[in-house]
């Protein structure tokens, strides 16, 4: 139960020291919203000397609390919670034709399908939770919270980190008082954490992003296509405080990854960015659903997410990868079906070799 | 005149030592076809202890010979020549509508415009030249030459390097006997060096590419979005033998970069991949031409290159950036208008700092 106490300090200054600097190894488990995130996975990475995040996205606040409690039972190491920052609802005129198509297709196949709806992913309740029982880091995705929110998190004793995908977003988050930045390169699997969800925004590689934000003086974690200790060494050499890895842990037994998703992760098929599943760009292994819909899918998050969620849940159960969002980063062929501790320890050994 | 003699050795084995390993500094000037490449630029980088490439693409064989001779007068350091590997001609039915549109547009604006045509960029004559007067490295772009060509280059006393953009291309080139690979990440400015020019091929980041090719046992240079010594340190940590930088040198006085292109390089505008200028994907700073044509431009290289070449030449003269291919990598905002030697020396100092 001492985890959050480690984080009580004044970070966020130029070059400020964060809980990430005090890790045994600068390896961070990315949040992995949407199923793969589990307390067991976060605990295993923390036990190996890294840092684990729990995803709060898509869960009820009670489920998040339960997971935090379980993680605190499994490990006394510091950990982080990732929250989705709500955007606004999309215009129904924008998404209606795509929804109609998805409905028709699912019904023709005899599969469940949902209705478009907007919600804020329980923003206020989750903020209340993470400030009442603060983890070491609260990280934010899909936007930069107001300075007041960042201050509230810090006053509760946690660091506030913001996920960014461009130098402009990085500057915005630094000005808002973020203790640190998660730089997400275009290589990353899953959703782009950009502040707005226009698909035409530039997609910078993680190494370009690191160099273009070197002057900010804010601690940075690098994410996107990092799958080996050599990859970790690379982002550290480019100035990152730590590397955040998600896909590298998706095949671990501790992860909540579905069986067909695990299978796809050993397929070797290409990945690409798609907004077909959720109405927001995310990187996944190309499948039939993406091939059918990438040409006309629209930007409307989370409305489209709720339309496809029942179909995807059915397909995960049924073991049918053709209807599933098979999130994966560009380096996913290097992921292995090994216990998380082994993945982390191999990474740590490779990192030591790469650093000489 | 001793440059090429340094390269006579049996590289290409697992972990083989190349001329790149013997550099004072593992910093390579990328070829920069299409104007920016000059002997003066290559000489300046070589004099600073790096390695310079000359572009042969788009030039007559006589012009390439002249440039090689001039570079040999300016520097006795080893250097490289980059050749385009010819693909096949495109189907006129594929490009005719786009050509018609480009013709109509140029005529309406009162600008010169060209006709589509195919050529092999003087492949045989250029091969004869680089094997008769071999530089230290002959690198290839847009394809993997036959093993017989690679052997011919090696027997002439040069190393044969192949530009690759995916693990599959890397394996292909390694099997063909390449002495080394230039791994070009999607961050890179200018043309993608992929073996075929389908725009839907995956665009891997340089760091993902490095990790995904670590098991090949062939020396690798990393290219794409590297603009600082920290970026160089990163790719070295990830296993590269050297970093290849192009955009970082585009604003140097020694480069043949046009004035409007130089101006654009201090604009801060986003880059993206486009096939609008040449019929092959390349990364450039977004301008009006790309905005007008990216939605319907077709894959037909070099046919479309020859259609737009006169318009682009006019625009470079006239100083009108709206019609110019403003090639730039993702980290281009970090490029500086400084002599090449200063750029290289700054990079070397930053590299030393980043490596600790």
Q: Is pLDDT at A265 greater than 80 in this prediction? A: yes
Cβ neighbours of residue B292 under 8 Å, at least 6 residues apart? B105, B276
How long, in residues, is chain A? 356
Q: Residue A355 has what pLDDT?
A: 85
Tell me how far apart the alpha carbons of residues B88 and A26 are, in angstroms, rounded to a whole number.
Answer: 48
Using a CB–CB cutoff of 8 Å, tell me whether A236 touches chain B.
yes
- In the stretch 147-176 of chain B, residues with CB closer than 8 A to chain A read 167
Chain A residues within 8 A of B167 when measuring between CB atoms: 333
Q: What is the pLDDT of residues A32-90, one digit of tens each?
A: 999 999 999 999 999 999 999 999 999 999 999 999 999 999 999 999 999 999 999 99
Determine the Cα–Cα distance for residues A243 and A347; give it in Å rounded to an integer. Answer: 11
d(CA B172, CA B196): 13
How large is the C-alpha radius of gyration of chain B? 19
Could you give the CA distance from residue B184 to residue B213 in angstroms, rounded to a whole number?
12
pLDDT at A4 over 50: no
Position A2 scores a pLDDT of 36
Tell me the per-residue pLDDT of A102-138, one tens digit each, with 9 for 90 and over.
999 999 999 999 999 999 999 999 999 999 999 999 9
Q: pLDDT tens, A281-333?
A: 999 999 999 999 999 999 999 999 999 999 999 999 999 999 999 999 999 99
pLDDT interval class at A15 (50, 70, 90)? low
- What is the C-alpha end-to-end distance of chain A, expressed in Å? 36
Quote the distance between the C-alpha of residue A49 and its chain's center: 20
Using a CB–CB cutoff of 8 Å, tell me whether A8 touches chain B.
no
What is the DSSP annotation of A18-60?
Answer: -GGGGSSS-EEE---TTTT--HHHHHHHHHTTSEEEEE-TTS-
Cβ pair B234:A334 closer than 8 A: no
- What pLDDT was estimated at residue B1? 34
Residue-level pLDDT at A7 = 36
- Position A5 pLDDT exceeds 50: no
Helix (H, G, I), strand (E, B) or coil at B79: strand
Domain residue spans of chain B: 3-86+121-255+335-355, 88-119+266-327
Q: What are the chain A neighbours of B214 within 8 Å (beta carbons)?
A: 228, 230
Residue A182 pairs in a beta bridge with A163, A221
CA A65 to chain centre: 19
Residue in B202, B211, B333 closest to A231 by CB = B211
With CA atoms as reference, report the closest residue to B283 among B169, B193, B183, B168.
B193
Give me the interface pTM, i.e. the ipTM. 0.94
| CA closest to B222 among chain A residues | A207
User: Quick check: A44 and A254 in contact, CB under 8 A?
Assistant: yes
In angstroms, what separates the C-alpha of B224 from chain A's closest C-alpha?
Answer: 8
Using DSSP's 3-state secondary structure scheme, residue B313 falls into helix
What are the residues facing A157 on neighbouring strands? none
The string over A135-171, giving b where at least 16 C-beta atoms fall within 10 Å of a residue's C-beta and e elsewhere, is bbbbbbbbbbbeeebbebbbebbbbbbbbbbbbebbb
Beta-strand relationship, B282-285 and B271-274: antiparallel
A243 backbone dihedrals φ, ψ, rounded to 5°:
-110, 135
Mutation for testing the A interface, residue in B220, B234, B240, B352 having most A CBs under 10 Å? B234
Q: What DSSP line would sit under B43-56, residue for residue?
A: HHHHHTTSEEEEE-
* A199 shares contact with chain B (CB less than 8 Å): no
Contact B230 A210 (CB under 8 A): yes
In angstroms, what separates the C-alpha of A353 from chain B's closest C-alpha?
10
Please tell me the distance in Å from B305's CA to the nearest CA on chain A.
25
Q: What is the pLDDT of residue A16?
A: 63
CA distance B120 to A209: 37
User: Which residues lie below 8 Å from residue A28, measured CB to CB, with a gap of 6+?
Assistant: A20, A45, A50, A51, A52, A53, A80, A221, A242, A243, A244, A245
B214/A330 Cβ within 8 A: no
Q: What topology does CATH give the domain B3-86+121-255+335-355?
A: TIM Barrel (3.20.20)
Fold for A3-86+121-258+335-355, please state it: TIM Barrel (3.20.20)
Q: Does A273 touch chain B (CB under 8 A)?
A: no
CA-based nearest distance A269→chain B, Å: 10
Q: What does the alpha-carbon distance between residue A5 and residue A3 come to, in Å, rounded to a whole number?
A: 6
* A240 and chain B in contact, CB less than 8 A: no
- B271: β partners: B285
Q: Which residues of chain B have pLDDT under 50?
A: 1-14
Per-residue pLDDT at B2: 35
Q: Of A142, A112, A91, A88, which Cα lies nearest the Cα of A298?
A: A91
Phi-psi region of B166 (alpha: psi -120 to 50; beta: other; left: phi over 0): beta
* Helices B229-237/A229-237 angle, 10° precision: 170
Q: How many CA atoms lie within 13 A of A280 on its CB side?
A: 25
User: Is the peptide bond prior to A169 cis by the omega test (within 30 degrees of 0)?
Assistant: no
- Do the bridges between strand B137-141 and strand B159-164 make them parallel or antiparallel, or are there none, so unpaired? parallel
B224, A238: Cβ pair inside 8 Å?
no
**Contact: A238, B230; criterion CB under 8 Å:** yes
What are the start-end ranges of the E strands in chain A? 27-29, 51-55, 79-84, 137-141, 159-164, 180-184, 190-191, 220-223, 242-245, 271-274, 282-285
Give pLDDT, residue B16: 63
Q: Residue A356: pLDDT band by 50, 70, 90 thresholds?
A: confident
On whether any CB of chain B is under 8 Å from the CB of A177, the answer is no
The answer, yes or no, to whether residue A1 has pLDDT greater than 50, is no
Q: How far is B113 from chain A (nearest CA, A)?
A: 30
Q: Minimal Cα–Cα distance from A311 to chain B, Å?
A: 27
Q: Which of residues 315-344 of B touch A (CB under 8 A)?
A: 329-331, 333-334
Q: Which residues of B260-282 are buried (b: 16+ CB within 10 A; e: fewer)?
A: bbbebbeeeebbbbbbbbbbbbb
Q: Is the dihedral of CA B144, B145, B151, B152 positive or negative?
A: negative
Beta-ladder partners of A53: A80
Q: Is A23 on the interface with B (CB under 8 A)?
A: no
- pTM of model > 0.90: yes
Contact A221, A181 (CB under 8 A): yes
Q: Residues near B203 by Cβ (< 8 Å), separated by ≥ 6?
A: B165, B186, B192, B273
Edge-to-edge strands of the sheet including A271-274?
Answer: A190-191, A282-285, A271-274
pLDDT of residue B197: 87
CB crowding B301-338: b at 16 or more within 10 Å, else e? bbbbbbbbbebbbbbbeeebbebbbbbbbbbbbbbeee
Facing residue for B237 by CB, picked from A204, A270, A354: A354
Q: B340-355 vs B229-237: helix axis angle to the nearest 10?
A: 50
CA neighbor of A144 nearest in space, from A194, A207, A108: A194
Contacts of B332 in chain A (CB under 8 A): none
Closest CA to A181 of A49, A12, A29: A12
């Amino acid at each position: 139960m001492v985890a959050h106490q480690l984080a009580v300090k004044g970070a966020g200054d130029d070059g400020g020291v964060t809980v990430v600097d005090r890790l045994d190894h600068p390896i961070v488990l990315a949040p992995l919203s949407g199923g793969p995130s589990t307390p067991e996975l976060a605990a295993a990475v923390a036990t190996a000397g890294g840092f684990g995040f729990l995803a709060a996205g898509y869960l009820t606040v009670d489920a998040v609390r339960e997971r935090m409690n379980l993680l605190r039972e499994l490990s006394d190491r510091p950990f982080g919670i990732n929250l989705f920052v709500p955007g606004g609802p999309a215009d129904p005129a924008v998404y209606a034709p795509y929804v109609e198509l998805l409905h028709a297709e699912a019904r023709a196949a005899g599969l469940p399908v949902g209705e478009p709806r907007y919600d804020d992913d329980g923003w206020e309740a989750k903020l209340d939770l993470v400030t009442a029982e603060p983890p070491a880091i609260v990280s934010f995705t899909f936007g930069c919270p107001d300075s007041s929110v960042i201050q509230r998190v810090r006053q509760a004793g946690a660091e506030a980190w913001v996920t960014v995908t461009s130098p402009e977003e990085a500057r915005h988050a630094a000005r808002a008082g973020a203790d640190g930045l998660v730089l997400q390169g275009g290589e990353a699997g899953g959703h782009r954490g950009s502040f707005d969800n226009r698909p035409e925004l530039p997609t910078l590689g993680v190494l370009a992003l690191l160099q273009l934000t070197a002057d900010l003086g804010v601690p940075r974690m690098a994410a996107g296509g990092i799958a080996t200790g050599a990859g970790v060494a690379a982002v550290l050499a480019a100035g990152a405080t730590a590397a955040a890895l998600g896909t590298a842990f998706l095949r671990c037994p501790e992860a909540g990854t579905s069986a067909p998703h695990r299978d796809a992760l050993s397929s070797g098929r290409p990945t690409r960015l798609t907004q077909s599943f959720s109405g927001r760009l995310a990187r996944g292994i190309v499948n039939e659903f993406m091939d059918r819909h990438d040409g006309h899918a629209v930007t409307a998050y989370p409305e489209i997410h709720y339309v496809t969620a029942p179909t995807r849940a059915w397909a995960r159960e049924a073991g049918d990868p053709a209807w599933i969002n098979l999130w994966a980063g560009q380096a996913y062929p290097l992921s292995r079906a090994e216990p998380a501790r082994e993945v982390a320890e191999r990474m740590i050994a490779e990192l030591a070799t790469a650093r000489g």
